[in-house]
């Protein structure tokens, strides 16, 4: 079966100007070698602290940016081949929901216009059919037909995010990228939006790339997990395997910091020491060694490869010690 979306050794580097007048430019490695494969109907969660490269990876997946190295494939097709000739067609298959429901909707346009805009740009559909499709999508996300003629400021944050979901699904995509879609919402509204996403994923057989820093949300929705730190993948595998017994010290710290009502899901708190290093000047060797409780001399000189251990991919010289802890 062809994957709905694949990434092969994706890298995205940016050249950043130095602070001084004569300073040489610095290379920022926002994403430094990420690979994944996601089938229709499945969810890949990408997790990590701010600045780890999650949103950059989302921009690569949605073809907003081109990888510095590596390849992205949408249903087996490389959008950047042949001078990017396939990008307009493939962009219809990959849609994104942004984090901020207050900033992602044009306040000057009515909801109906916002929903129909992707269809007007990409497809030849009559005005009557566009309106029927928009009202159908509003219904799918729990809103009413009369909301079609209202402006975004007339809705709550949760309702605005539902509108953003409806807009993303107007073109009936194969892949949906959700970049922190519930982090700006009240906790009571988060569950409603997540339920809508999961119901629509099942109904439309969507491949969902879910970006989040909140592992309590990820635990509920993910089939696979990719944990990133300073642009690198440090652990990747089936969600059930990683949640049951994380093999990287960073994943352990993320899970230990996640509140859990069920005592069976609570883990010993692993406190991270030190600050997150600057991505402009990452530490040598393992990027996590400055904050790791298992650090040894080899960690500061040699970067661990991402290799299969304990039924998942993990980049750690002392994964065995982490699993046994």
What CA–CA distance (Å, rounded) separates 249 from 2? 33
Instruction: List C-alpha distances in Å: 269 to 48, 217, 259.
Output: 17, 18, 10
Q: Per the structure block, which two tokens stand in for 92?
A: 């219809």
What pLDDT, on the 0 to 100 scale, is given for residue 108?
94
What pLDDT, on the 0 to 100 scale, is given for residue 104?
86
What pLDDT, on the 0 to 100 scale, is given for residue 303?
95
pTM: 0.92
Number of C-alpha atoms within 13 angstroms, CB side, residue 100? 5
- Grouping H, G, I as helix, E, B as strand and the rest as coil, residue 83 is helix
What CA–CA distance (Å, rounded) separates 190 from 158? 8
- Grouping H, G, I as helix, E, B as strand and the rest as coil, residue 1 is coil
Kindly state the DSSP code that residue 321 receives in the 8-state scheme.
H
Residue by residue, pLDDT tens for the chain (325 residues) are 789 999 999 999 999 887 777 778 889 999 999 999 999 999 999 999 888 999 999 999 999 999 999 999 999 999 999 889 899 999 999 999 988 888 889 999 999 999 999 999 999 999 999 999 999 999 999 999 999 999 999 999 999 999 999 999 999 999 999 999 988 788 888 999 999 999 999 999 999 999 998 888 899 899 999 999 999 999 999 999 999 999 999 999 998 877 655 555 555 666 677 778 888 889 999 999 999 999 999 999 999 999 999 999 999 999 999 898 7
What pLDDT, on the 0 to 100 scale, is given for residue 223?
97
What pLDDT, on the 0 to 100 scale, is given for residue 188?
83
CB 131 within 8 A of CB 148: yes
CB 211 within 8 A of CB 55: yes
H helix runs in 6-102, sequence order: 54-61, 87-91
Kindly state the DSSP code that residue 23 receives in the 8-state scheme.
P
């Amino acid at each position: 079966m062809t994957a709905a979306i694949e990434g092969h050794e994706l890298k995205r580097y940016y050249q950043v100007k130095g602070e001084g007048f004569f300073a040489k430019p610095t290379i920022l490695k926002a994403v430094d070698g990420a690979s994944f494969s996601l089938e229709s109907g499945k969810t890949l969660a990408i997790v990590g602290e701010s600045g780890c490269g999650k949103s950059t990876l989302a921009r690569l997946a949605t073809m907003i940016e081109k990888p510095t190295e590596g390849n992205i494939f949408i249903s087996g097709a490389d959008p950047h081949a042949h001078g990017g000739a396939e990008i307009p067609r493939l962009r219809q298959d990959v849609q994104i929901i942004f984090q901020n429901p207050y900033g992602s909707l044009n306040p000057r346009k009515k909801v109906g216009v916002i929903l129909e805009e992707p269809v007007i740009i990409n497809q030849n559909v009559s005005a009557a059919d566009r309106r029927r499709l928009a009202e159908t999508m509003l219904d799918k996300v729990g809103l009413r037909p009369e909301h079609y003629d209202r402006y975004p400021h007339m809705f709550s944050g949760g309702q605005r995010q539902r509108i953003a979901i409806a807009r993303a699904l107007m073109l009936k995509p194969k892949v949906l990228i959700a970049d922190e879609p519930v982090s700006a919402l009240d906790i009571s509204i988060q569950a409603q939006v997540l339920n809508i996403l999961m119901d629509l994923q099942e109904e439309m057989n969507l491949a969902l790339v879910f970006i989040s820093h909140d592992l309590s949300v990820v635990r509920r929705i993910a089939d696979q997990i990719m944990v990133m730190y300073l642009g690198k993948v440090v652990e990747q595998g089936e969600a059930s395997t990683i949640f049951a017994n994380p093999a990287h010290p960073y994943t352990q710290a993320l899970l230990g910091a996640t509140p859990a009502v069920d005592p069976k899901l609570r883990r010993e708190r692993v406190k991270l020491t030190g600050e997150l290093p600057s991505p402009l000047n990452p530490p040598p060797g393992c990027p996590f060694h400055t904050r790791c409780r298992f650090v040894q001399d080899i960690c500061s000189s040699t970067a661990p490869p991402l290799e299969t251990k304990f039924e998942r991919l993990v980049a750690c010289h002392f994964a065995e010690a982490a699993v046994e802890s």
